Amino acid sequence: MHRFSSRTREDKLLWVLMVCVASLIKGAVGSEDLQLHKPPNIVILLADDLGIGDVGCYGNDTIRTPHIDRLASEGVRLTHHLAAAAMCTPSRAALLTARYPARYGLVADPILPVPVLIQITSPGGIPGDEVTIATALAAANYTTAIVGKWHLGMNCSLWGRGCLGPLRHGFHSFFGLPMSLFQEYADPYPFWTLPADTAVIQVSPWIQNHANSVLMRDGEVVEAPIKLEGFSQRLVAESRRFITEHANSERPFFLFHSFGHVHTPMFTAPHMAGRSKHGRYGDNVEEMDEGVGSLLDTLTQLGLENNTVVYFASDHGGHLEVTDDDGQRIGGHNGRFKGGKRQGGSEGGIRVPGIFRWSGHLPCGVTQHSPTSMMDVLPTLLSLAGLPPLHTLVPRASHKELDGTDISEILQGGAAESQEGRVFLHHCDSAIHAVRLVTGDHVYKMHLARPKWFPGSTQCGWGRGVICSCSGYGLVTDLSSRPELYDLNKDPYEDKQPISPESEEYKVVVKQMREYLEQWKARVKYPPSQLSTLANIIWRPWYQPVCHNC
């Protein structure tokens, strides 16, 4: 299944072996770092909307992602790595807090299903009492920075501009997008154009273009609207500067490089345009990969490979439905997994690439098949870095139950026994659409609901702005009275007939999952949605940050 372009499998193995031996030798030489007891630097590289099928080392043999592939060949590649949501805002919140975002209302409800923050002036975000990876690492004396996309809230009140922004969540500096890239940033719109989008409630494209297309440095707007061409390179240059500046400092650094790519709109620097075999989407993937390479090279040049943990992932699966005005597909590809973005219970929406590299410390060129979650990243990074657990580092968080667990044992190549009995809940907005249970040799997945797919496909139509729904009459198939059950170890792509509801296996497993759900619902009360509010939808100019020097 996992093919590698331009090299035979034997060549590939030899190559991995050479790289690994080299890094072990370097690791031994570099053990001075350890004697100083300085915890390792940490770099998170997060792509936006990138499908697991868009990456060379996950089986794509026509797209070129040599730098992500290199990261995998020098580290641990996870094949069963799961996002906690199939939309940006909730998935990113889960990554940073190690908790289901439904616990703090950062998911839509069925009454007004707006799946993400859609206005820079929206008052929602990660609540101030939640603790992020950055807050934890800042408490451990790291210098912390985010470069790129935030999309996790800025404002909470009129006098509290920026009070939910990255600087309030543990990041010492911020350069990038308070929101996200949106298709509208690329096109000129007259004020009265109606959104082309029918599936999601959306703001006026004019407002989108004029209000949300801002670039910030810390609390200040430094560019509006954003100049798209070369934007990826500008973000990468900023991160390179940060790494270089902090390479030899006493404190370790934490960099969260959150790519704008490969979300729409599809733009690239001139040297990347038309290079890929997959149109403008492919060009975007390859430009993002070039950015990964540039950041990895910086670490190598500064001799930081052996004291820097690097984690790469995508926030969720590719957007299957989206096309440009000419009907060309401009969304990602999720391999053989069914479904995509905004399908929280479908594998294609949440199965993402996930790679950890820490040369000389973690195994090299290794693949792990155990189910893991992006919510595991926070506890795992603390553990790898030899830091105290979150509740010790940040005592005010001691009542916050984490949904992620420390998977460093799995990364170290240990047995996956720690995952025995683990349950993953798969939310689509605030609803639970699927449940996954790890037990013995099985990874069971139970589907309770699923978006209505276009016949013969695993997507909800196609067109500009088209996306699935998590709720709504006629938009979702309710399976809860007779859930579909699969064993992903036997049927990874859910291609075969689901396990028969008449079988003993079905009865036992479904009963166990239903009991788990009942207990969960009794114990964990979800607060009201922060996204399903008029304040999220209506632009409120008095919250709009403006550029004073543009």
Ligand X SMILES: *[C@@H]1O[C@H](CO)[C@@H](O)[C@H](O)[C@H]1NC(C)=O
Residues with a catalytic annotation lie at 88, 151
- Please give the DSSP secondary-structure letter assigned to residue 104: G
Which one among 11, 61, 297, 420 touches ligand X, defined by CB under 6 A?
61
Q: Find the part of the chain contacting ligand X (CB under 6 A) among 57-65, 89-97, 214-222, 228-236.
A: 57-65
Helical axes 9-29 vs 66-73, angle rounded to 10° = 60
38 Cβ contact list (under 8 Å, min separation 6): 250, 252, 307
User: Which lies closer to ligand X via its Cβ, residue 300 or residue 328?
Assistant: 328
Q: Find the part of the chain contacting ligand X (CB under 6 A) among 329-337, 347-355, 447-455, 493-501.
A: 329-337
Pairing mode of beta strands 366-368, 41-47:
unpaired
Q: Find the part of the chain contacting ligand X (CB under 6 A) among 287-295, 327-335, 425-433, 485-493.
A: 327-335
Q: Find the part of the chain contacting ligand X (CB under 6 A) among 70-78, 265-273, 277-285, 416-424.
A: 277-285
Q: How far apart are the first and last CA of the chain?
A: 51
* Residues that contact ligand X, how many (by CB under 6 A): 14
Which one among 332, 345, 371, 404 touches ligand X, defined by CB under 6 A?
332
Contact between 333 and ligand X per CB under 6 A:
yes
CA 253 remoteness from chain centre: 21
User: Which lies closer to ligand X via its Cβ, residue 124 or residue 331?
Assistant: 331
Contact between 62 and ligand X per CB under 6 A:
yes
Q: Is 16 left (phi over 0), alpha (psi -120 to 50) or beta?
A: alpha
Structure tokens at 387: 């830091």
Residue 340 to residue 460: CA distance in whole angstroms: 10
Contact between 338 and ligand X per CB under 6 A:
no
What is the nearest approach in angstroms of ligand X to the Cβ of residue 253? Answer: 14
Mapping DSSP to helix (H, G, I), strand (E, B) and coil, where does residue 266 land? coil
Long-range pairs, 155-163, Cβ under 8 A, ≥24: 155/121, 155/122, 155/123, 155/125, 155/543, 156/123, 156/125, 156/128, 157/123, 158/542, 158/543, 161/219, 161/543, 161/545, 162/219, 162/545, 163/128
Which one among 42, 88, 94, 140 touches ligand X, defined by CB under 6 A?
140
* Residue at token pair 């036997």: 490
Contact between 348 and ligand X per CB under 6 A:
no
User: Which lies closer to ligand X via its Cβ, residue 128 or residue 388?
Assistant: 388
How is 466-498 classified by DSSP, letter by letter? ----SSSTTTEEE-TTS-EEEETTT-TT--SPP
Structure tokens at 321: 């439905």
Site for ligand X in 15-54 (CB under 6 A): 53-54
Contact between 519 and ligand X per CB under 6 A:
no
What is the nearest approach in angstroms of ligand X to the Cβ of residue 255? Answer: 19
Contact between 282 and ligand X per CB under 6 A:
yes
User: Which lies closer to ligand X via its Cβ, residue 195 or residue 389?
Assistant: 389
Which one among 23, 41, 60, 530 touches ligand X, defined by CB under 6 A?
60
Contact between 314 and ligand X per CB under 6 A:
no
Interface residues with ligand X (CB under 6 A) are 53-54, 60-63, 140-141, 278, 281-282, 332-333, 335
